[in-house]
Amino acid sequence: MEYIPNTAGDQKEMLRAIGVSSIEDLLSHIPAGLRLKRDLALPEPISELELLAEMHTLGGTNANTSEYASFLGAGAYDHFIPSIVPHVLSRSEFYTAYTPYQAEMSQGSLQTIYEYQTLICELTGMEVANASMYDGASAMAEAALMATRITKREEIVVASTVNPRYREVLDTYLFGLKHPVHTVGSGHGVTDLHRLSKALSDKTAVVIIQYPNFFGCIEDVKGIIEAAHRAGAIAVAVADPIALGLLKSPGGLGADLVVGEGQALGIPLNFGGPYLGFFATKMEHVRKMPGRVVGATVDSEGKRGYCLTFQTREQHIKRERATSNICTNEALVALAATVYMAAMGRQGLRDVAGLCLQKAAYARQKISRIEGYSVPFTAPSFKEFVVKTPVSPKGVQERLLSEKILSGLDLGTYYPELKDHILFCVTEKRTRGEIDRLVKVLGEVRS
């Protein structure tokens, strides 16, 4: 057991062992001008009861979705989380578990990861999934790099309708690498297939699209994938897992890799994280896939067991052979997604997706009837849609916030051509009353 010194004698002994006589001598290399010459400005100690009350007061200064009706999406969504999800996660054998290096000691953790991989494959229509990535953005960037390894090509083509923050992460990943990125513009809310086809060449490694896209619109996924394949490129679909409860799977449409953000699968918004990146591909590409893969096998007695089948990280193998420098997985968060998918089942997920679709369509129709507001894109959409506003998005957001409504995203922040446009999101949690209240306040803002 590690010994922690806690007396003056212990401190003197430690100082003597490292060859100094006092704490001042130990700190002598720090310039005097940088050293604090007074006591720390800390408040007086308080009791646990008083501390909890103070923390509760501080926490109350944050707006949260238990008190506000959220119509904000853009990659992080306010979906209902069944109580079984946090209940299972709170079991100590899960929330205190470390990385399952020793299979004989980690069968429970390994089985949950294996089940997670299986469910992700079923959801995406792919053949193999890894043990998760940090988030949707890192999963997309890793998919792009994986495609360059598969094709031995350099160029990356990405649709402008892909989440702009994901594209920023991709640029960060590519810093210092010789992988030019070509961004293909859109028309009427979806990728311009003609422009995309012209951007493709025998140097294109990968084409990246989002399904549904950042504007909530449904792309011609099959047509884009076929165009990518004609050029010999890998097709990557960044998918919303809830939408896959209704839409045809990207794997069924021919995608080579399917990635995305799994936060919608039973994971709280958490003011930004931790989140979950899912990553699935075809079995032929499994050795090019980043991260780790858990497999099922049998022991010497024929009993079923689980182990880390692939560990293609620089933590495990030579750096030059590694497929990624991501050194962990989001196992606990992946468990939350696993419990959510198992609890909801195929029909439950379909019901959630159906409610999102219907409620978003209701909100879209009601808002489009308000004088001065319009819905510029006519492409089919899922749970998000774009609204052109007659006043500044900031004014709309502030007015809605005063009514305890979280507005959508100001698209002008990322798309200058969409100044005075807001991206609204409607999940299954939003009630008719909340939607009607949103419409009422929007009308008041206009007047």
* Residue 43 covered by a domain: no
What is the predicted pLDDT for the residue at 11?
82
What is the predicted pLDDT for the residue at 106?
87
In terms of C-beta distances under 8 Å and separation of at least 24 residues, what long-range contacts does 325-328 make, across chains too?
326/133, 326/134, 326/138, 326/142, 326/290, 326/291, 328/99
Per-block mean pLDDT, blocks of 10 residues, the chain (447 long): 58 86 86 88 93 93 90 97 96 85 85 96 97 93 96 97 98 93 96 96 98 98 98 98 98 98 96 93 94 90 90 62 69 95 97 98 98 96 98 96 96 97 98 98 91
Check whether residue 350 and residue 337 sit in a common domain: no
Q: Are 133 and 113 in contact (CB under 8 A)?
A: no
What is the predicted pLDDT for the residue at 315?
57
What is the predicted pLDDT for the residue at 318?
62
Distance (Å, whole) CA 120 – CA 130: 9
Check whether residue 368 and residue 328 sit in a common domain: no
* Residue 392 covered by a domain: yes
Distance (Å, whole) CA 184 – CA 327: 32
Q: What is the pLDDT of residues 288-321, one digit of tens each?
A: 999 889 999 998 899 999 998 887 655 566 666 6
Q: Which residues pair with 294 in a beta bridge?
A: 308
Check whether residue 195 and residue 132 sit in a common domain: yes
Q: What is the pLDDT of residues 317-375, one digit of tens each?
A: 666 667 776 666 678 999 999 999 999 999 999 999 999 999 999 999 999 999 999 99
Please report, for residues 35, 101, 134, 336, 411, the alpha-carbon distance to residue 265 in angstroms, rounded to integers and kept in the order given: 49, 26, 15, 7, 25
* Residue 6 covered by a domain: no
* Residue 252 covered by a domain: yes
- Boundary residue ending a domain (287, 309, 341): 341
Check whether residue 275 and residue 376 sit in a common domain: no
Check whether residue 167 and residue 262 sit in a common domain: yes
Check whether residue 260 and residue 185 sit in a common domain: yes
- Boundary residue ending a domain (341, 374, 394): 341
* Residue 9 covered by a domain: no
| Number of folded domains that form the chain | 2
Check whether residue 349 and residue 335 sit in a common domain: no
What is the predicted pLDDT for the residue at 2?
47
* Residue 329 covered by a domain: yes
What is the predicted pLDDT for the residue at 291?
85
Check whether residue 378 and residue 335 sit in a common domain: no
What's the distance, CA 278 to chain centroid? Answer: 8
Structure tokens at 446: 């206009």
* Residue 160 covered by a domain: yes
What is the predicted pLDDT for the residue at 13?
86
Check whether residue 103 and residue 122 sit in a common domain: yes
List, in order, residues 6 or more apart from 148 with CB less than 8 Å away.
154, 156, 179, 205, 206
Check whether residue 309 and residue 326 sit in a common domain: yes
Check whether residue 109 and residue 182 sit in a common domain: yes
Domain range spanning residue 176?
A: 84-341
Domain of 277, CATH number, reads 3.40.640.10
What is the predicted pLDDT for the residue at 234?
98
- Boundary residue ending a domain (280, 309, 341): 341
* Residue 290 covered by a domain: yes
